[in-house]
Chains A and B, each alone.
Chain A
Amino acid sequence: MFEMRLYLLQRLTAILMLPMVIGHLATIMYATRSELTAASILERTQSSPWLVVFYTGFVILVSIHAPLGLRKIMGEWLRVSPKLANRISVLLFLGFLGLGLRGVWALTGGTMS
């Protein structure tokens, strides 16, 4: 049943991400219409709390969804043992979450240094 719950989690995150991927692509197209510089993009994103909420959600969903898929690929194609695949997946989840939220933090104008 554990596998089925993870299966459900992966499908639910996929459903939620579908409109977000479209929103993300639309944002990229919009953001790159004018001259593309980090400063010009940050100028716009830093003034939008909506983007922060959107990308925080998106990052969390990706961090759940992607390791679940990679976990299956590790087991089926690379013959990684279930225990090791689980551990790597947890590390991937934490990695994606950390890097993603760090990116969102940068959107708001925050810096780590």
Chain B
Amino acid sequence: MSHLTVRIWRGADEGEFQDFSVPMRENQTVLDVVSEVQRTQDQSLSYRFACRVGVCGSCAMMVNGKPRWTCRTHIRSLKSSVVTIAPLRNMPRIKDLVTDMSGFIDKWGKAGNVFESQRDRGDAPALVDPSSPMRKVADAAIECINCGVCHAACDVVSWNDAYLGPAALNRAWSLVNDERHSGKKETMMAAMGDGGCGNCHSQGNCMAACPIGLSPTRSIAGLKKMSLMSLLGGSDA
């Protein structure tokens, strides 16, 4: 049986890659490989996962330099006998493959991510037309599960600590297009603040890396347009 060389980051911000050798199998994901190393070679290896089937988004890591869901990345799709696995970029490292995601989550809050409603339980459910233009725009952005892959892919996040990043701004975009959301003005103020949508260079790394094919780039472009219109005194945000 041929073997795969796996280079795994050990340590925190200071550390080094450690090489392991794992049997090559017919069907094998990157997460399978990490699990195999942890179970059979070094039980002190730290990493995160939960569902193993691309639902939870907790197993994201840098695989050969690209942020990916390791559970949905087949080794054979990498077409390489050496696989380099590192913790997600743009986040502080805690240990081995585990990052501190609190800064990433905090940015969601800073982008005005909280849904506000003027309705209460006595009101009838809001009627939202699924075919309305606003709802379609919101639907296109709404499936994000906070995995952090786009945040790790974004160069602007790596350059500018204040930048809220693609995931947080994508959330803001889905909220300002939700007709039930009563805090649109607050969300827009956050999204067009100093760390907001104007920092995006539209490189599209977030869109290219998103495991479920969302386009934060398009969402941020929408926020930019809305921000400019509101600054020009046109349509309100």
Contact = CB atoms under 8 A, between A and B. Distances in A.
Q: Is the interface of A mostly helix, strand, loop or mixed?
A: helix
Interface residues of B, number: 15
Contacts of B183: none
A63 B154 CA distance: 30
Contact of A3 (B156, B159, B196, B228): B196
B223 to A, nearest CB: 10
B231 A4 contact: yes
B192 A4 contact: yes
A50 interface: no
Nearest to B191: A4
Contacts, number: 34
Interface in A48-75: 75
B227 A4 contact: yes
B232 interface: yes
B194 A1 contact: yes
Contacts of A11: 228
Interface in B185-203: 189, 192-194, 196, 198-199
B160 A8 contact: no
Contacts of B232: 8
Interface string B210-228: 0000000000000010011
Contacts of B227: 4, 7-8
Nearest to B193: A1
A2 B194 contact: yes
Contacts of A1: 189, 192-194
Interface string B154-193: 0010011000000000000000000000000000010011
Interface residues of A, number: 12
B229 to A, nearest CB: 10
B159 A8 contact: no
A76 B159 contact: yes
A1 B228 CA distance: 11
Contacts of B160: 75-76
A33 interface: no
A30 interface: no
A54 B160 CA distance: 37
Nearest to B158: A76
Interface in A6-36: 6-8, 11
A8 B227 CA distance: 9
A65 to B, nearest CB: 15
Given A75-B159, A76-B160, 18 more contacts: A1-B193, A1-B194, A2-B194, A3-B193, A3-B194, A3-B196, A3-B199, A4-B192, A4-B194, A4-B198, A7-B198, A7-B227, A8-B227, A8-B228, A8-B231, A8-B232, A76-B156, A77-B159
Enumerate the 4 nearest inter-chain pairs by beta-carbon distance, A residue then B residue, closest first. A7-B198, A76-B159, A3-B194, A4-B192
